[in-house]
Chains A and B, each alone.
Chain A
Amino acid sequence: GQQVMQIPQYQHVQEGEDFTTYCNSSTTLSNIQWYKQRPGGHPVFLIQLVKSGEVKKQKRLTFQFGEAKKNSSLHITATQTTDVGTYFCAPRASNSGYALNFGKGTSLLVTP
């Protein structure tokens, strides 16, 4: 079955530093979604990537989908304290059901 690894598990940065989390799958994906969960909150949808090599940007956030559609990354430029939270990838294989299955997440702490 599909194996997904999300790294790192934790990241502590100073405000203004960059941050990247990676999601790596053992199998080729149909698409991948990214979610952010603030402390005490619920997951909130950020983006969906579908195409091989796709790159999407949302302000300071850059999302990439690997050429082989097995890997994805989320990069935050110049982190702010509002970026604190846990970032989850939700990869989907072609034979996935309708429900989402999540990576273990990367918890980001930003120190002012």
Chain B
Amino acid sequence: SAVISQKPSRDICQRGTSLTIQCQVDSQVTMMFWYRQQPGQSLTLIATANQGSEATYESGFVIDKFPISRPNLTFSTLTVSNMSPEDSSIYLCSVEGQGWGYTFGSGTRLTVV
């Protein structure tokens, strides 16, 4: 299965600032997925990122708040913009495996103060 390197693993940020989260995959993948997981909750899909096209956002998530880049088949970034304390959460990237389910990055634990 794919191996994903996600960073940063955690950060504490001031409100109003932005944080960019990176995910590097050790193999080429068509789609990458970004999730948010609030404390004690399930995972909520933010968007699907395809290489060479605009990301597709789920209801409740917009590009201005969560811009995504997908410059090649092994890399993607998610930016959390103009942060507020409500954005404090764990953010995870994911890719579909080859018959091995989906693989997740180790997550970015974001605290906005």
Q: Give A residues with C-beta under 8 Å from B.
A: 33, 35, 41-48, 88, 90, 97-105
Contact = CB atoms under 8 A, between A and B. Distances in A.
B107 to A, nearest CB: 5
A35 B35 CA distance: 15
Given A45-B102, A100-B43, A105-B42, 4 more contacts: A42-B107, A44-B104, A100-B33, A101-B45
Contacts of B33: 98-100
A45 B96 CA distance: 11
Contacts of A97: 48
Contact of A42 (B92, B96, B97): B92
B57 to A, nearest CB: 11
B42 A99 contact: no
Contacts of A45: 1, 97, 100-103
Given A35-B101, A45-B101, A45-B102, A99 B107 contact: no
B76 interface: no
Nearest to B47: A99
B90 to A, nearest CB: 8
Contacts of A105: 42
A100 B105 contact: no
A101 B42 CA distance: 9
